Amino acid sequence: MGDMEDALARAAANTATRPIPKSAGAQMRFLLRVEKGSTRALAARLGISQRTVERYVKGTLRQPRKDLAARLEREVRRDWQPRVRQRARKQAATSTGIVIETRARFGYTAAPGSTDDGRMRRITQHLPPAYAARLFDAQAAGATEQQLQAIAAEGLQEIYFKDRGRRAADLEVEFTDIDYVELDF
C-alpha cells in the first residue's frame, strides 16, 4: 500500500471506540468469529497451519513469533468494529470532512512571472466533505496511489492555495515527494 492508502487505513482504525484484543488467543478467537468458525480459512489468511490456529484458540500456545504477532494485529485491526468505521466514514463524507496533515513537495504551474519551483511544505488543512467522499469512493473502487494523491492535491489546491477560489485562479498544484501524510476524520 502507498502513503495515502496507509493514511486512510490508520484514520479508519483511529475511529475505534474500544481497544483491540490484547492476547494472541483473544485475537485468534475474534478472527475465528470473523471467518465464521473456519479454522482452515483463518489459517490460510494468517499463513500458518490449521492446527496452530486450534492451539491458540484452545490456549496451549500463547506467545506468537514476532512476524505472526504482527500479522495477527494487522488482521484484527482490519476487521475491528466495521460498523463504527463505516459510520465515521459516512459522517466525514457527508458533514464533517477530513483533516489532512502532510509534509511534501508542492510544485506549481502558475501565471508567467511567478515561481514554479517546488518546495517542501508542512500543511495541516481541513478539507470539505466532498473531498472526503471522493477519497473514500476512489479507495473503494480500487484507485491507485497516484489517483488518491491527485484527489488530495486538488483539495489542497482549492482550499489551501486558492483559498476557495478567492485568489490564484489559474494555479495548478502538484503533490509529490511525500515525507508523511496523516488523515483524520
Is 131 in contact with 151 (CB distance < 8 Å)?
A: yes
Residue 172 lies in a domain: yes
Per-residue pLDDT, 107: 73
Residues 39, 66: Cα–Cα separation, whole Å? 21
In the chain, the DSSP E strands lie at 98-109, 119-127, 172-184
CA angle, corner 56, sides to 50 and 61, nearest 5?
A: 115
Per-residue pLDDT, 21: 95
Question: Into how many domains does the chain fold?
Answer: 1
Residue 69 lies in a domain: no
Q: Give the count of alpha carbons within 13 A of 159, CB side only.
A: 19
Domain that holds residue 163: 98-184
Residue 18 lies in a domain: no
Predicted structure pTM score: 0.79
Q: How far is CA 135 from CA 101, 172, 179, in A?
A: 15, 19, 20
List beta partners, residue 175: 106
Mean pLDDT for each 10-residue chunk of the chain (185 residues)? Answer: 88 92 95 96 96 94 94 93 95 96 80 65 95 96 93 92 78 81 94
Residue 149 lies in a domain: yes
Per-residue pLDDT, 167: 80
Residue 30 lies in a domain: no
Per-residue pLDDT, 137: 96
With a CB cutoff of 8 Å and minimum separation 6, the contacts of 85 are 12, 13, 15, 16
Residue 131 lies in a domain: yes
Helices and strands (H and E) in the chain: how many: 8, 3
Residue 26 lies in a domain: no
Residue 109 lies in a domain: yes
